[in-house]
Chains A and B, each alone.
Chain A
Amino acid sequence: MAERKTVILPCNGLDKALGVVAGRAGIVACAKDPGIKLVCPVLLNSGEPKYDEMVKDADIICLNGCMTRCATKLAESRKIPVKTNLLVPDMVKKFNLKPGTDLVLQTSGVQLPEAIADDIITSIKKDRESMAQEIHSIEVEDKAEYFETKKDKFYFKVPKGAYLFNENDCWVRVFGGLAYLGISDFLQNQVGDILYVDLPAIGKEFGQFDEAGSFESVKSVQDLISPVSGKVVAVNNQLASAPELANQDPYHKGWFVKVELADFDEDKGLLLDGPAYFEFMKKKIELEAKKQH
C-alpha cells in the first residue's frame, strides 16, 4: 500500500502571536521533513483545483492558533477530511513555552514552533511505523492456526484468533483504535471469482451492519456488511487491479477497508469470535447443500 502524503494546513492568524506560531510551525516541519507539504489557507479557500488536488487523499493536520479554529473550520467548509486538529494553546501547555504577544517571535516564541514541528514529525513517523507493522500483520499470512472444514472439493477456513465476524460473513481485525474489514473464506467461495470491487470514499462514516463497499462476481453483486461502526481511513487499492486477492487471500491481502473505530466496545457484543463463526459457517454450508438437493 502506497504511503499517504501529509499536508499541514495552518490558520492565517497574523494579528496574534499564536497565529504566527502556527504558520511558523508548519514552515519548520516542512523544512525538516520534505515529505510534509504546506498548504496556504487563503489559496485553499479560493477553490482552485490545484489546491484541492494537493489535499486529496492526504493526511491533513490542521494547526489552529486559537480557539476560533479557523484552519479546522476551513477544512470542514471544503469537506476535507482531517486526520489531526492541533491547537497552539495546547502546545504551549505541553512544552511550557509561552510565546508572548510580540508578533515578531522572540526566544520562547521561536522555540515553540520548533517543538511543535518536531512533535508533528515524531507523530507521523510513529504512524508510519505502526501502519507498516499493521500492513505486514494484515497482509502477510501469520502463523495463526485455522479451523478448516471441507464440503465436496471445497475447503473453508476460519482464523482461530484475532478476527471477529458478523453473520453476513464479513470480518474485522482490530489494531488499537483502527480496524481492517474483509470477507470470509466462506463468502468468497459462495460468490465465485470476484471481478470488480467498489470501495467507499476516505472519510465516509457508517454504522455497524451498514454497507462498507461492494463486490461483484459473475454470479452476483454483494455488499460488504461492516461488522463495526467507524470512519474509513484507507482502502485496499490493490483490489482495483487484482480483485482476485479477495478470493485467494480473503483474510490478508484481500482486505477491503480500514476504519477508525467509533464504538468497538459496543459493537463487539454482536460479533462472533473464530470458534463461534466456524460453527455458524458449518451450519450454513449444510443448509446450502440441502437447498441444492
Chain B
Amino acid sequence: MVKEIMLAKKVYIFPCSGVGKVFGSIGREASYIVVNELAKDKAKISCLPLVVKGKKALIDDINENHVIVVDGCPSKCSYNDVKSATGKEPDGQFLSTDVVKYNRDLKPESDIIPLGENAKKLSRKLAEKISEKVGEILDSDKKGGA
C-alpha cells in the first residue's frame, strides 16, 4: 500500500491559456475544473511558459509523470511547446474547438474575462472528457503495476 502511494504518478495538465481567443480560455477553464473538482489530487496544472523556458526541475518532473495538453486552436501551441521542451509525446491531447464543433447550440461568446455562459458550459463538457482521460491514464498505470 505504501509502495503504491509512493509510486503513484500524477497527470500534468497544460492548457495553452492563449489570451487572444476565447478557445484558449475555454481550455484553461476546463483544466481548472479537472484539477479542482473532477480529478482532484490526481492532476495538476503547471506553467507552460516555464516549460518552454527550460526549468529543469519541472521538465524532469514532467518526464517522470504523465502529461495532457489542452489547446485552443489547431496551432496546437501547448502540444508543440511541451513536445519540443521535454521530447515527450503527451499522453493526451485535447482541442477546445473540437468540443465547440460538436455543440453547435453552445456557440461560445467572444468574451474572455469573464467567460460567457455558453463558454462555461463548453468548458464543463471539455473538462469531463479530460478527466475521463486522466482516469484512463492512471488506471492503465495500476494495471501495468499489477
Contacts and interface: CB of A to CB of B under 8 A. Distances in A.
A175 interface: no
Interface residues of B toward A: which range? 10 to 19
Interface stretch (B38-46, B59-67, B99-107): B99-107
A219 B110 contact: yes
A196 B102 CA distance: 10
Q: Which 10 A-B pairs have the closest CB atoms?
A: A244-B74, A218-B110, A195-B100, A193-B73, A196-B104, A218-B22, A218-B108, A195-B101, A219-B110, A193-B21
A15 to B, nearest CB: 54
Contact of B101 (A192, A196, A219): A196
The secondary structure that dominates the A interface is loop
Interface in A242-269: 243-244, 248
B143 to A, nearest CB: 32
Given A193-B97, A195-B100, A218-B110, 16 more contacts: A192-B21, A193-B23, A193-B73, A195-B101, A195-B104, A195-B107, A196-B104, A218-B22, A218-B107, A218-B108, A219-B110, A241-B101, A243-B101, A244-B74, A244-B97, A248-B74
Nearest to B21: A193
A193 B75 CA distance: 11
B108 to A, nearest CB: 6
Contacts of A57: none
B114 to A, nearest CB: 16
Interface residues of A toward B: which range? 10 to 19
Contacts of B101: 195-196, 241, 243
Nearest to A195: B100
